[in-house]
Homo-oligomer: A and B are copies of this chain.
Amino acid sequence: MSYFDAASAAPLHPVARQALLASLDEGWADPARLYREGRRARMLLDASREAAAEAVGCRPDELVFTPSGTRAVHSGVAGALAGRRRAGRHLIVSAVEHSSVLHSAEVFASEGGTVTQVPVLRSGAVTVESYAGALRSDTALACLQSANHEVGTEQPVAEVAEACREAGVPLFVDAAQSLGWGPVEGPWSLLAASAHKWGGPSGVGLLVVRKGVRFAPQGALDERESGRAAGFENIPAIVAAVASLRAVGAAAEAERLRELTGRIRAGVARSVPDVEVVGDAERRLPGIVTFSCLYVDGETLLHELDREGFSVSSGSSCTSSTLTPSHVLKAMGVLSEGNVRVSLPMGTAEEDVERFLAVLPRAVAGVREKLGAPTPGPTAATGADELVVDSLGKLCPIPVIELAKAIGQVPVGGTVRVLSDDEAARLDIPAWCQMRGQEYVGEEPADRGSAHLVRRLL
């Protein structure tokens, strides 16, 4: 089995396992108590906080442990917004933040706040200029991930943090994907992370609030974790999380994984036809590579890969419970069908990557064959200048497959009108046009769904 979904959850690191076992007998008591077992638990908690702060690059009293990265984000964003209520009710997020940040923004908007989503380039990165341009005099908080969880693109956090500092606006950094590889640079104000992303156990997140940042924790609280994270501290898991944070992230391993993902980027583009490798080719996390395959149903491809022993994830609409494609791929404006994210855990064997590259083309071809995907080659034009393809009720990737088959039937200059009520078509038909060198004329409302108009250019 090759587990290639470290960006969802990394398997427990041996150091974390060892630390967890060792502290099960030492760290179960209430650290607020004065007796022996309580003092021992308190010492473990204090030592873990010191070590975590050192790894993050902050003061120990700026860092609290939360029950998960998600909770760190929810509490951090809500607390920072409330603490800056007098400054204003405007929040900035990038369009490709993790859902935990976007959910926090939704709550804020539902309470009357204003949210600006900063768009991203096709690479998945914001530009410093567009981010800085969103800053207003009433901006209470700005949020930017250190690197994207779906495509691995690194954000210009240090520069954005600088711009925020100049504007007097605190920057909240979701560092979930990058903290295992090292501290986040720049004058950020708040930071959240999640231990199970770097090989620590589930159940541990970090929330850092720099001294001087106005912060008003929300909801019911207690005295634990400086009043910022209620509930009994999970000390054995915290000890394990911090031990593994210090053990992981060696520069040599980062280099090795970067080479392996580079090999996948090149290999996929070379050996799979009609594929789009997405995300920034240079400014990216070591272990993540993402690509989308035309005429492929993401869910079926994931099943095929699972049968071959590869565990990967996908941002395709058919693999999400909402039947909409990933908001990240959407914001980037890239193809979402047949999407595959490979995220290599630290220590991934080279052979496994090679085997993946050997298996993938067959798997993709198999799915395409089942779906009746168009094969390259000339098609006889029917003579009609405009064809209408009725893809209503059909889900990704069928509308694109039907478009691809129809385009050869109109003469160059002619148009195909695809009727579709699939949310993914809105993203994938323009992406197909860009990949195929055809013109996407636009989308028009229709009785059901939308009509997507495509002009044949070649």
Q: Which residues of A contact B (CB under 8 A)?
A: 1, 3, 5, 8-12, 17, 20-21, 24-25, 28-30, 33-38, 67-71, 73-74, 77-78, 99-100, 103-104, 106-107, 194, 196, 201-203, 205, 218-223, 230-237, 299, 302-303, 305-306, 310-313, 319, 321
Q: How far is the CB of A74 from chain B (nearest CB, A)?
A: 4
Which of B24, B231, B310 is the one whose CB lies under 8 Å from A69? B231
Q: In whole angstroms, what is the CA distance A106 to B100 when docked?
A: 27
Q: Are B230 and A74 in contact (CB under 8 A)?
A: yes
Q: In whole angstroms, what is the CA distance A106 to B202 when docked?
A: 31
What are 12 A-B contacts defined by CB distance under 8 Å? A8-B33, A11-B28, A11-B29, A33-B313, A34-B306, A35-B302, A68-B230, A103-B221, A201-B234, A203-B237, A205-B231, A223-B321
Q: Are B219 and A33 in contact (CB under 8 A)?
A: no
Q: Binding site of A, secondary structure by majority: helix, strand, loop or mixed? A: mixed
Question: Assembly of this chain: how many copies?
Answer: 2
Which of B12, B35, B222 is the one whose CB lies under 8 Å from A311? B35
- Given the known A-B contacts A71-B67, A237-B237, are A99 and B222 also in contact in the complex, defined by CB atoms under 8 Å? yes
Which residue among A37, A194, A201, A203 has the maximum number of chain B CB atoms within 10 Å of its CB? A203
Q: In whole angstroms, what is the CA distance A202 to B77 when docked?
A: 25
Q: Which residues of B contact A106 (CB under 8 A)?
A: 220
Q: Which residues of B contact A24 (CB under 8 A)?
A: 12, 17, 20, 201
Q: In whole angstroms, what is the CA distance A231 to B33 when docked?
A: 28
Q: Are B70 and A232 in contact (CB under 8 A)?
A: yes
